[in-house]
Each structure stands twice: as C-alpha cells, then as structure tokens.
C-alpha cells in the first residue's frame, strides 16, 4: 500500500502524483488531498495526520496533507469550497466552522460543503488559578458574584472564548475576556494569577494541576473524561445540559458523489476504533467519535445555532 504523504503546501512535489503505475478505474485512482486549515504540528494537524495515515492504508491510495492556516481557518476552508467535487479534495474543520459565519463575512457558506464524518471531540476543562479561593464550580460562581473575574482564550471567537462567554451568561457573572496568542502566555498568567480561569483542553494545563499549581473544576463534555473521573461535568455541577466540546470533522465540497462520501465516512468510523489511534487521540486530549454524514450535519446545525446565540447575546465582534 502507498504511504501517506505528510507535507505542507510548499513541500508538495508534482512527483507524488505520478506514483501510480497503473491508473485504477474506480475511486480512488489518484492521490487525495486533505486541507488542514491550521499550522503544522498543532493538535488539529496531528489528529488529521493520524487519521489520514490509517485511511490511506485502508483506501490503498496516497493522501497528501496541505496546511493552509489563517483567518481562524477560513482561508483553507474557502479553498475547498471552490474545489472540484470529485472525491479528491477534503478539509478538516473544527467547531470554529460553526462559529465563523457569525463572526466573519465569508466568501463561502455551509451549502458549499458536504459533511463526511465527525472524527473526534475535544472536551474543554475549566482550569482556575490557585489564587482563587474556590474548589468547585459553585464556589467559583459564588465568588464571582462578589469579586471581579476574568477568563482567557486563544482568541476572539475561539471555542474557549465562546465557552467562557456562555458560562458567564448562564452563571449570571460579569467576566472580562482576555484573548491571547497561544497557550504559553495563557498558562504563565494563569499560574501567576493574572488570569482567573480558562476553558482549555487537558493536554497542557493538567500536569500543573497534578503538581498542585492549578485547580480543575469541571469538564464541558456530557460524560466524564476517561482517566480523570474525579473531575465533574458542568452538568453535574449544576449547569444542566451544559455541553460545549470543540470537535474535529472532515468535510468535502458540495456535490461530491454520495458513494464516495459514504465510503470515507465508513472508513473513518473504523479508523477511530483502532487502538493505536485511540491512544494517540488520548495523548492529544481528543475523544474518538466517528459518525455518518447526516450525524455530522446535525452537529454543525446544532452548534451553529448555539454559537450564533452566544455571539449575539454577548455582543462578540472580531476586531
């Protein structure tokens, strides 16, 4: 079987498209391109490469990864909206896909895409500074009603921002949002107490909880996180129905043949059951899902409505 080609756009060579000695009559008969609209080496890129390696093996065809970051993923996503719907171009999207239409003027719409599969969830944990005299979500809310609180995020419109804004709204708190560029400065200010709290994936902050330098009060998923069962869900902490995972999914240009979409969806659902994939996902903070195209479509619709309401109610604007 042919190997997955891990390459950024600048490194893509025309030679990789001539690897097939004899053209196949049926799909896939040539390399497939998956656009990852985020930087190489990040969690989305890592998860995409793990899945596409296995998918390449199952399809018996090369898959080329092209990183096209920028504008909260909209640059790379727009490229796929304009791509030929022949089953040879796909894009990896995050929950930001559902939020972006409410924050940006886009040159594409949801009608330009076909859902393929919901690959994985990325639960967010509520981490707080040790400077705060709180040990539970309820104590945090009580404290916040009497004292000023702020929360960090990786940028305006990010999952952490929208989750924090939603939490503040339903908790009846006035909290100041502080956007950062990257997780390193967030962690530094959280440790020093300059930032009160952050909704963040488990990977970076949790080791500091184990060292007693941060607190973790809850998780945004509907179920407890495997291996961290002592951390309650927000639902268990009094916020009934609270669920705001980030997620990663695969999309194709609208008009892509349904038989191809269904084939890829089915293969991905099997890929995420692979023990090696599950382990790598866990190390990156992701929970494997796998879904039908219809199920992904419902997720996108549901989150679009949720994020649209949050943006409107909290008057969030991209500056």
Helix residue ranges per DSSP H, 221-292: 258-271, 275-284
CATH number of 125-219: 3.40.190.10
The domains of the chain are located at: 5-122+245-313, 125-219
**205 with 216: CB under 8 angstroms?**
yes
Per residue in 225-260, pLDDT (tens digit) is 999 999 999 999 999 999 999 999 999 999 999 999
Cα 183 from Cα 55, distance rounded (Å): 30
State pTM to two decimals: 0.86
Report residue 131 as tokens. 């400077």
* Mean pLDDT, rounded, for 173-183: 91
Sheet with 197-200: list strands edge to edge.
Answer: 175-179, 149-153, 197-200, 125-129, 214-219
Beta bridge partners of 118: 249
Q: 184-201 pLDDT, tens per residue? A: 899 999 999 999 999 999
d(C-alpha 163, C-alpha 169), whole Å: 10
Q: 3-class DSSP state for residue 167?
A: helix
Of the listed ranges 2-11, 86-95, 268-277, the one predicted with least confidence = 2-11
Tell me what pLDDT residue 71 has: 84
> Given a cut of 80, is residue 55 above it in pLDDT?
yes
Name the token pair of 259: 């038989």
CB atoms within 10 A of CB 184: 10
Query: Nearest CA to 219 among 118, 126, 133, 150?
Result: 126
CA distance 218 to 199: 9
Read off the pLDDT of residues 102-144 as tens digits, 9 standing for 90 and up. 999 999 999 999 999 999 999 999 999 999 999 999 999 999 9
- The model's confidence at residue 5, banded by pLDDT at 50, 70 and 90, is low
Q: Specify whether the backbone of 211 is left (phi greater than 0), alpha (psi in -120 to 50) or beta.
A: alpha
Q: Which CATH number fits domain 5-122+245-313: 3.40.50.720, 3.30.70.1400, 3.40.190.150, 3.60.20.30?
A: 3.40.190.150
Least confident piece of the model among 11-20, 79-88, 157-166, 275-284 = 11-20
What percentage of residues in the chain have a pLDDT greater than 90? 83
Residue whose pair of structure tokens reads 């990040």 in the numeric block = 42
* Domain pair 5-122+245-313 / 125-219, same fold: yes
């Amino acid at each position: 079987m042919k190997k997955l080609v891990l390459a950024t756009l600048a490194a893509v060579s025309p030679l990789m498209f001539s690897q097939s000695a004899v053209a196949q009559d049926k799909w896939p008969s040539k390399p497939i391109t998956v656009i990852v609209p985020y930087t190489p080496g990040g969690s989305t890129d890592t998860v995409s490469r793990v899945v596409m390696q296995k998918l390449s093996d199952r399809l018996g065809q090369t898959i080329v990864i092209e990183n096209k970051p920028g504008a909260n993923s909209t640059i790379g996503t727009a490229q796929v909206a304009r791509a030929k719907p022949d089953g040879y171009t796909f894009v990896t999207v995050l929950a930001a896909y559902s939020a972006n239409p409410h924050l940006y003027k886009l040159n594409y719409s949801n009608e330009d895409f076909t859902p393929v599969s919901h690959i994985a969830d990325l639960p967010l944990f509520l981490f707080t500074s040790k400077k705060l005299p709180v040990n539970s979500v309820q104590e945090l809310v009580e404290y916040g009603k009497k004292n000023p609180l702020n929360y960090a995020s990786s940028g305006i419109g990010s999952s952490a921002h929208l989750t924090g804004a939603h939490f503040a709204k339903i908790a009846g708190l006035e909290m100041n949002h502080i956007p950062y560029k990257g997780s390193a400065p967030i962690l530094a200010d959280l440790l020093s107490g300059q930032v009160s709290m952050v909704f963040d994936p488990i990977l970076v902050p949790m080791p500091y909880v184990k060292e007693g330098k941060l607190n973790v009060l809850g998780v945004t998923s509907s179920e407890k996180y495997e291996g961290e069962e002592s951390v309650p869900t927000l639902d268990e902490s009094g916020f009934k129905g609270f669920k705001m995972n980030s997620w990663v999914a695969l999309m194709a240009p609208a008009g892509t043949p349904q038989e191809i979409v269904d084939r890829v969806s089915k293969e991905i659902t099997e890929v995420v059951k692979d023990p090696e994939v599950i382990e790598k996902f866990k190390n990156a903070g992701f929970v494997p899902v796998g879904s039908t195209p219809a199920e992904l479509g419902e997720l996108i619709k549901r989150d679009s409505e949720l994020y649209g309401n949050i943006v409107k109610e909290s008057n969030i604007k991209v500056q």
